[in-house]
Amino acid sequence: MARICLINPRFPTSFWGLNHALPMLGKKANMPVLALPTLAGLTPPEHEVVLIDENVQDLDLDALDAFDIIGLTGMSVQRDRMNEILVELRARGIFVIVGGPWVSVAEGWFEPGLIDVAFIGEAEETWPRFLEEWAHGRHAGRYEQAEKTDMTQIPPPRYDLIPFREYAMGCIQTSRGCPFQCEFCDIIVIFGRRPRIKTPEQVVAEAEAQRRLGARVIFLVDDNFIGNKKAAKVILRALIEWQRAHAYAVTFFTEASLDLAEDEELMRLMAEAGLVAVFIGIESPDEDALRETKKYQNVRGSIEERVRRVQDAGLEVYAGMIVGFDSDDVGVFDRQFDFLTRARIVGAMAGMLSAIPRTPLYDRLEAEGRLDNAAADDPDIATNIIPLGMTREQLRDGWVDLMERLYDADSFFERFDALFIEGRLPLATAKIGWLRRHRPLSYLKVQVLTILAAVGILGRLWAEPRTRPFRGTYARHLRRLLAARRPPRYLFQFAWKCALHFHLATLTRRMVRGETGLVNT
């Protein structure tokens, strides 16, 4: 029997991390990393498994001496913390394995001798094989599956090892892979272009497990939830049935491609299943940039019109945006800001283009002599690309200015008003309508709990001294919302957006003032 400790290293403060907003939400971290409970579920029962998320609990290095195997996962933004932990573990002579997204694309980034075993890509087959070999006193130094994982055969993750109440949301992966070919994306490198999908029974079982453990918001963290639209609809119908059996106890949101707007049935099913938002990689309003990066699914007509179709279906759109494509000039920052304003996209995450190892973008720029990997770690540059249409300084300054404008309090909440008040986004109307007809007591309970949750968030925001510069704007737009007599769920959306704004604005202000280096998404 082995004692195994699997660790998710601490994330640095980032746009995705919600670091400044988490105290307002009464949480310690954004969401758990699925690699840990997934590996625990793959581990034979004779082994003991302990999971440590450094974003939720402190890492006691002395206590790690008691384990036979220490495993680390990590994304690119976690690589520095991963390295710090590995150096400490090597000094203690502890047996260490590493897997996850970063080592899978940048295997040679870590110094020789820091890692005993590396797992590249998926590990549903290689992890049990390693444990069996380890038990017999032998193992390889590197494991990589020859075939992609059959998602229908994955055992349930060990969600019982996750303290869901410490997280803002839970998460479920229903599929892996994406059918598209965006040049900058590492998903198709790691998981491939043929979506592989879990059964509806698996997805519902995972949702039920997380509901029982306290999750009330669940992110379907697929690379593209609608990569296989037919399969997505089957999953959604199963989730609708499950939601109705539990009085819509969970709110979902997910990631999807913009071609979602072309399928009215799919959008309707998403709304009926309790999804309220979708993150879409829009990247740019400029067709030249989209064609350059092979994001052809975004050039089938007006992006703004398609975003509005998704919104009209009751799904708020969060957008991923990128500046620094070869076709971008210094006017791109104004074009991005104007587009996001017209499209009423409140939650916009804009980043400077960066090239991830092993992606087509990385290979192309390397061949052109336009990579500067040292610059990615430079807090004054924060990207490894050398742009064509502007200098690196113009890219940096234009991006920072774009972030300032997007997260200016008045600008942010004018987009909120345009979507939720003037635009009257039909938020959760399928859920609320069903509850009113079939579960009136549950409907009343939801109204009361929603109001209490919103008041709690707003109360914590007002008690936080650092929100003082924004309170006047928050109060003014709150009065507009109340005057519009929108239902309680819109009040909760406003409270959540205040917390989100505080995080984004604080992060940007600290960058502008030089209190931190650049934090590129």
- pLDDT tens-digit readout, 128-161: 999 999 999 999 999 999 999 999 999 999 999 9
- Going by C-alpha positions, the residue among 467, 493, 338, 471 that lies closest to residue 406 is 338
pLDDT band (50, 70, 90) for residue 192:
confident
pLDDT at 289: 97
In three-state secondary structure terms, 512 is: helix
pLDDT at 188: 82
pLDDT per position as a tens digit, 107-133: 999 999 999 999 999 999 999 999 999
- Going by C-alpha positions, the residue among 287, 283, 214, 284 that lies closest to residue 249 is 214
What integer best gives the mean pLDDT of the chain? 96
pLDDT band (50, 70, 90) for residue 187:
confident
Residue 295 has pLDDT above 90, yes or no: yes
pLDDT at 223: 86
Classify strands 217-220 and 196-197 as parallel, antiparallel or unpaired: unpaired
Question: Using CA atoms, how far apart are residues 46 and 49, in angstroms rounded to an integer?
Answer: 10
Backbone angles phi, psi at 114, to 5 degrees: -80, -25
Mean pLDDT of 334-354: 97
Classify strands 170-172 and 217-220 as parallel, antiparallel or unpaired: parallel
pLDDT at 1: 86
Question: Using CA atoms, how far apart are residues 11 and 13, in angstroms rounded to an integer?
Answer: 6
pLDDT per position as a tens digit, 63-73: 999 999 999 99
pLDDT at 189: 84
pLDDT band (50, 70, 90) for residue 343:
very high
Q: Give the CA radius of gyration of the chain.
A: 23
Distance (Å) of CA 143 to CA 51, 98, 126, 130: 22, 10, 6, 8
pLDDT at 454: 98
The length of the chain, given as a count of residues: 521
Domains and CATH numbers, the chain: 3-144 (3.40.50.280), 169-353 (3.20.20.70), 418-426+438-512 (no CATH)
Tell me the torsion sign for CA atoms 238, 240, 244, 246: positive
DSSP letters spanning 194-229: S-EE--HHHHHHHHHHHHHTT--EEEE--S-TTSSH
pLDDT at 521: 78
Classify strands 275-283 and 316-323 as parallel, antiparallel or unpaired: parallel
Question: Using CA atoms, how far apart are residues 501 and 498, in angstroms rounded to an integer?
Answer: 5
H/E stretch holding 4 reads strand 3-8
Neighbours of 70 (CB within 10 A): 23
pLDDT per position as a tens digit, 251-282: 999 999 999 999 999 999 999 999 999 999 99
Classify strands 348-352 and 316-323 as parallel, antiparallel or unpaired: parallel
Per DSSP, what are the bridge partners of residue 298? none
Sequence-distant (6+) residues with CB within 8 A of 479 are none
Torsion of CA 154, 158, 162, 167, to 10 degrees: 20
Amino acid of residue 245 = A
DSSP letters spanning 237-305: HHHHHHHHHTTS--EEEEEE-GGGGG-HHHHHHHHHTTEEEEEEEEE-S-HHHHHHTT-GGG-SS-HHH
Mean pLDDT of 26-33: 96
> In this structure, are residues 298 and 317 in contact, taking their beta carbons and an 8 Å threshold?
no
Question: Using CA atoms, how far apart are residues 453 and 343, in angstroms rounded to an integer?
Answer: 28
pLDDT at 480: 98
Classify strands 175-176 and 196-197 as parallel, antiparallel or unpaired: antiparallel
Question: Using CA atoms, how far apart are residues 74 and 81, in angstroms rounded to an integer?
Answer: 9
How buried is residue 521: exposed, middle or buried, by Cβ count under 10 Å (0-12/13-18/19+)? middle
Residue 15 has pLDDT above 90, yes or no: no
pLDDT at 283: 97
Angle at 17 between CA 80 and CA 408, to 5 degrees: 120
Question: Using CA atoms, how far apart are residues 187 and 175, in angstroms rounded to an integer?
Answer: 12
pLDDT at 16: 83
